[in-house]
Amino acid sequence: VLLLLALIFISLLRNPDLKFWIFGSEWNFVLQAADPRKAVFGLLVILLIRDHDRILRNSYYSAILMLIYMTYQIFLFELFGNWAHYFSLEEGASKYNMSLGYEMIFAALVLLTIAFARKSLLCLLLAGFASGISIYYGARGVVILILAYAGLMLLYWSGKTWKLNRDSFKSKLRTLKTVGIFLIIVVITIAFIVPMTQLLVKQLQPLVKETEMLDEFGEPIQVEDFESRTIESIIDGEFLTDTGRQKIWSLALDGFLDSPVIGQGFYGDRLFVGIRFNWGYSHNILFELMCQFGIFGILALAAFLFFTMKLLSKNHGSVQNLVMIIFGSMCIKLLISDSYLIYNHFWIFLGLLFIGTNLYSRINKKVRLGLVLSLLIISIVSAGAFVYQDSGRQEFKTIEFSAPKLLFTTERSVDSTELVQKIMNEHGFTGVSFLNAGVMDPEEETDPPKNQTDNENKLTYLDEEAILRMKAAGWYFEDGGYRYLNPHIRMPEVQEEFRQSTIAKFAELSLPQAVAYSPPFNKNNSVIKYRSMDDYGFIQSRSSVRQTKPYKTISYPQAMELRAVNFRFYDEENREDFIKYLEKAKNDNALAVVVLSSANWDIGSLTHFAKTAKNMGFESISYQELYELGYESGETLDTRNYFENTYIAQVVRKIIG
């Protein structure tokens, strides 16, 4: 822990921009490391148990429970046509479930191990079933884990040695036969059991109340008949087709070459790759360590592999090897996905190495004490130095509210936005419209996504005369980005090109330059946020009324993800929740942020909303006014203000609610 702290703050002293990725990004290290299901907690559990038989037994119990739960989740998917019920998958209409696939393959490998150790036919059948499910519904990577497991079992469990000789040949042949039976069960599961189950579940669908998933605009998501992504890629000969990893690995290698000795620092690959690509980490443990720690990262991985192979060779055919093979196989995922810093199976495997080699106990007590004290001192000094330097870079003053305020915004501007402005003005409110004022790339115009018509892809900002009329009526305008065809692949230079064209358009119309930004398709992820935070004072995202609270204050991290309640929830079914949101803002003298998407409103609902807000005593506020309060207050920014606006404070606020 002290080593990690020392590495973090030394890296921050070298590159302060890392604080966003370590503390503030969507996958920040603080929340990942604090999650008891991940990271160092896996290591601690192993160090507490220190018994391979118990570890294998507990893994078996976990595998059975996991198999039952994941099978139930698949049943729900087949019944409702989406993954909306799955606890860790935001994209309910996704064609596959990566998380479920890897969770299920862990259960499969544990059950297969028990089948080998106890010669259990039942466990072999369950392992084959779980693997088939994992391959069918999960990502392609699970196939690689199965192959790695088979290879490790042949090398380090079958026979008395990893070498192929007369004594070990029969044992390895028996292992191969078992693997063959296992693969037959996998094929039967994919080819027969899954299709039959799908047919049976379809018979139940008429008995279930129809559910409809909506996108962030309130439009129904079209859910197509499910076809296995992995099976399709195998049949089409595209199993090894690259989906972007070569680009990421190339960037991570560039990060290593940029600083080959000490690397980019802790989490440095997130910053280096995130600036240049939409996936902000290396997706490969070798490139991750190389980019973060340079040559020292390579040496650390080499030492890790050396001790692993030494320990496996030393304990051939033992329960210890069975446990290490399970978690070692799961670590193969780190060659194509995830990060060693937060991947629980990696830290569990690291714990197995510690108890297997007795590495810690071999070190002299005085040396251990010296190392601990040294790391403690380095951590304290580096943390203090960073806080001292960073507090001098303050630019944002915490915004506090003393009366209920309404920040009313519109997106996806079309002609009817002017009518919205008139209705709000009639009730004494102004508002903000996010303009799509960027210039379309002709190449993108001719290459629309699948199932998207040309009409949905047109540039849709208000005409200039309407903008000038609305401006004269006291309406404000900010940057709505561009309704980009594919927000997942927007490169930084493309985003900058759109931003500059928006700046030019605002200047042409004599509008104040935009201080707020609403990303296209509401994709306010870490990469877009990081690329935008130096150019805008606020970044707005859409949220549901039940998941959003009014803002009593606004800190800098909150300004970078200001959650606006989607006006589509102001219907008869959800209006009570919406009014409760407004009442809470009124009672707390807080800021209510509302976004109206022009496709999801009617005059009656908007009029009712405006009257309700007026009767509650709300006053309008704009992003331009918020910018003056937060960035141009002219006040001296003290230490208290600094800590209020740190990402750590934001994490604490999220935890305590």
Phi-psi region of 50 (alpha: psi -120 to 50; beta: other; left: phi over 0): left
> Residue 210's pLDDT is what?
53
Of 49-63, 436-450, 588-602, highest mean pLDDT: 49-63
> Residue 125's pLDDT is what?
97
Overall size of the chain counted in residues: 657
Domain identity same for 512 and 589: yes
Residue 275 inside a domain? The answer is no
Residue 410 inside a domain? The answer is yes
Least confident of 5-14, 16-25, 79-88: 79-88
Query: What is the rounded CA–CA span in Å between residue 308 and residue 334?
Result: 16
Q: Please check whether residue 555 is in contact with residue 401, taking contact to mean a CB–CB distance below 8 angstroms.
A: no
The answer on pLDDT for 295 being more than 80 is yes
Domain identity same for 532 and 632: yes
Domain identity same for 143 and 198: yes
Query: What is the rounded CA–CA span in Å between residue 128 and residue 150?
Result: 13
Q: What is the pLDDT confidence band of residue 522, given thresholds at 50, 70 and 90? A: low
Q: Which domain holds residue 197?
A: 35-241+316-358
The answer on pLDDT for 226 being more than 60 is no
Domain identity same for 424 and 552: yes
Strand, coil or helix: what is 490? coil
Alpha helices (runs of H) in 411-554, residue ranges in sequence order: 417-426, 442-445, 464-472, 492-508, 526-532
Residue 311 inside a domain? The answer is no
Domain identity same for 408 and 478: yes
DSSP structure class, residue 449 = P
> Residue 206's pLDDT is what?
72
Cβ neighbours of residue 271 under 8 Å, at least 6 residues apart? 15, 17, 18, 21, 264
Residue 263 inside a domain? The answer is no
Cβ neighbours of residue 594 under 8 Å, at least 6 residues apart? 406, 407, 408, 409, 564, 565, 567, 609
18 CA to centre of own chain: 17
The answer on pLDDT for 346 being more than 90 is yes
| Residue closest to 27 by CA, chosen among 344, 342, 383 | 342
> Residue 459's pLDDT is what?
32
Domain identity same for 227 and 128: yes
Question: Which has the higher per-residue pLDDT, 252 or 520?
Answer: 252
Question: Which has the higher per-residue pLDDT, 521 or 534?
Answer: 534
Domain identity same for 82 and 172: yes
Q: What is the pLDDT confidence band of residue 629, given thresholds at 50, 70 and 90? A: very high
Question: What pLDDT digit, counting tens, does each position of 468-486 carry?
Answer: 999 999 999 999 876 554 4
> Residue 466's pLDDT is what?
87
**Which residue bears the tokens 């996998």?**
186
Domain identity same for 352 and 473: no
Which two tokens mark 360? 């810690």
Residue 385 inside a domain? The answer is no
Domain identity same for 78 and 212: yes
Residue 416 inside a domain? The answer is yes
Domain identity same for 135 and 67: yes
pLDDT above 70 coverage of the chain, percent: 85
Query: What is the rounded CA–CA span in Å between residue 276 and residue 283?
Result: 15
> Residue 371's pLDDT is what?
83
Domain identity same for 420 and 326: no
Residue 21 inside a domain? The answer is no
Q: What is the pLDDT confidence band of residue 377, given thresholds at 50, 70 and 90? A: very high
Cβ neighbours of residue 298 under 8 Å, at least 6 residues apart? 286, 289, 290
Query: What is the rounded CA–CA span in Å between residue 105 and residue 330?
Result: 9
Number of domains in the chain: 2
Domain identity same for 481 and 610: yes
Q: Which CATH number is 633's domain given?
A: 3.20.20.370
Query: What is the rounded CA–CA span in Å between residue 70 and residue 79?
Result: 14
Q: Please check whether residue 130 is in contact with residue 107, taking contact to mean a CB–CB distance below 8 angstroms.
A: yes
Q: Please check whether residue 324 is in contact with residue 352, taking contact to mean a CB–CB distance below 8 angstroms.
A: yes
Report the DSSP beta bridge partners of residue 597: 411
Question: Which has the higher per-residue pLDDT, 595 or 28?
Answer: 595
Residue 262 inside a domain? The answer is no
The answer on pLDDT for 63 being more than 80 is yes
Q: Is the pTM of this model over 0.95?
A: no
> Residue 275's pLDDT is what?
82
